Amino acid sequence: MVCFRLFPVPGSGLVLVCLVLGAVRSYALELNLTDSENATCLYAKWQMNFTVRYETTNKTYKTVTISDHGTVTYNGSICGDDQNGPKIAVQFGPGFSWIANFTKAASTYSIDSVSFSYNTGDNTTFPDAEDKGILTVDELLAIRIPLNDLFRCNSLSTLEKNDVVQHYWDVLVQAFVQNGTVSTNEFLCDKDKTSTVAPTIHTTVPSPTTTPTPKEKPEAGTYSVNNGNDTCLLATMGLQLNITQDKVASVININPNTTHSTGSCRSHTALLRLNSSTIKYLDFVFAKNENRFYLKEVNISMYLVNGSVFSIANNNLSYWDAPLGSSYMCNKEQTVSVSGAFQINTFDLRVQPFNVTQGKYSTAQDCSADDDNFLVPIAVGAALAGVLILVLLAYFIGLKHHHAGYEQF
């Protein structure tokens, strides 16, 4: 028997509601597999998405990200027996599926392999694919875990093969569950083991709301997103996060040397996603209208130094506005106010989410132009006021001399 349910992801609202609204990017999958006696034999909860590069009918290449799994089934998932090991089998969409296989040794069990199958004949996902059919990518993993331990990997794991990039994060899994009870002993993946040292976060005792200790200017990082062989998004920026939770304010500088970037480019939107050992995701979503682009949405989910998860989302922003075909640049410090509890300070910013040519930035619109545009009407108004005063003075002086001439006559 298979039991499953869809879980909400912080910052994305309730998944079932978002499915109706078409607003889901990714959500947690959860499987509680039970045996004939209704005892849990396999438990898993995880998030995943896939990026596929394919050839179009125009002999060009496109990249599509598959993250909204829609209606999910788990047909074929098994607890395992003497001949076959446990298996998680997931089906989503027409011709899309994912399988994870497990094996057992004397004192350990292994996540042996995963396979992902996708259907280029699905015209919704691959409307212009040259070759139609179901393709499968297999990956050998051999991740060994002590028996009766729950495997955890919150960090982003990436597998890349045959034009397919698989992303996994927030993974919890235990095969060969003993006595029907999922273990409380956790076995961490290597990435999580190396991420136990959190970034320096300045905090003070809340009374009633603390003020964070000022932090040095963050180092600027360069990030990019590719669409096939071409770069479709460029971003250079130093990022400083200002977070308030439970009346405690924190300042966190993002280290670009330990930060990874992924994303996607579509006809009217572009996504830059940053993640690290403590940042599950920091999304910058750009939109465009007829002739301009702007930052429309920011989503974040990250671990704080106290172990809690901080998540915020805002899809109604309007920052970094510039004409299409150009880049937006601002060397001075700027603040993106996502919510009352979360702001991002940017330094040495330059971004171009659309119309990138030959992997290089186009001519930049500098944020200082906004200041100049604000000062121009003030300067013009002041000049006109000065001219008006001079005219009035000249008029009154002339009028006074005119009256003096009448009195002498």
How far, in Å, are 121, 248, 310 from residue 53 at the CA level?
Answer: 14, 44, 33
Asked if 27 contacts 6 with a C-beta cutoff of 8 angstroms, the reply is yes
Output the pLDDT for position 348: 96
For residue 169, what are its two tokens? 């994060």
CA-based nearest residue to 172, from 50, 43, 77, 7: 43
303: pLDDT confidence band, cut at 50, 70 and 90? Answer: confident
Does residue 293 contact residue 315 with C-beta atoms inside 8 Å? no
Find out whether 115 and 99 touch, Cβ atoms under 8 Å: yes
pLDDT digits (tens, 9 = 90+) for 114-161: 999 999 999 999 999 999 999 999 999 989 999 999 999 988 888 888
Q: How far apart are CA 50 and CA 315, in angstroms?
A: 23
- β strands within 289-341, DSSP E: 292-303, 309-314, 319-323, 327-330, 334-339
pLDDT attached to residue 232: 95
- pLDDT of 409 > 60? The answer is no
d(CA 283, CA 268): 16
The answer, yes or no, to whether residue 212 has pLDDT greater than 60, is: no
The least confident of 91-105, 302-316, 318-332, 338-352 is 302-316
Angle subtended at Cα 322 by Cα 318 and Cα 323, rounded to the nearest 5 degrees? 130
pLDDT bucket at 67, cuts 50 / 70 / 90 = confident
Query: What global pTM score does this model have?
Result: 0.49
CA distance 294 to 351: 10
Higher-confidence residue: 11 or 86? 86
Residue 351 or 161, more confident: 351
Q: Which of 70-79, 224-233, 343-352, 373-382 has the lowest mean pLDDT?
A: 373-382
Average pLDDT over residues 169-196: 86
Look at 28 and 374; give whichever has higher pLDDT. Answer: 28
Output the DSSP codes for 147-185: TT-EEEE-S-EEEEETTEEEEEEEEEEESS-STT---S-
Average confidence (pLDDT) over 365-393? 66
Measure the CA–CA gap between 203 and 23, rounded to whole angstroms: 35
Mean pLDDT for 215-229 is 91
- Residue 61 half-sphere exposure, CB side, CA atoms within 13 Å? 13
Radius of gyration, CA atoms only, the chain: 29
Mean pLDDT of 74-80: 94
pLDDT (tens digit per residue) in 93-107: 889 999 999 999 999
Please tell me the predicted confidence (pLDDT) of residue 180: 93
Instruction: Give pLDDT, residue 305.
Output: 79
Measured in degrees and rounded to the nearest 5, phi and psi for residue 197 equal -90, 110
pLDDT band at 18; cut points 50, 70, 90? very low
The answer to whether the bond into 208 is cis (omega within 30° of 0) is: yes
Cα–Cα distances in angstroms (integers) from residue 239 to residues 32, 343, 345, in the given order: 40, 10, 6
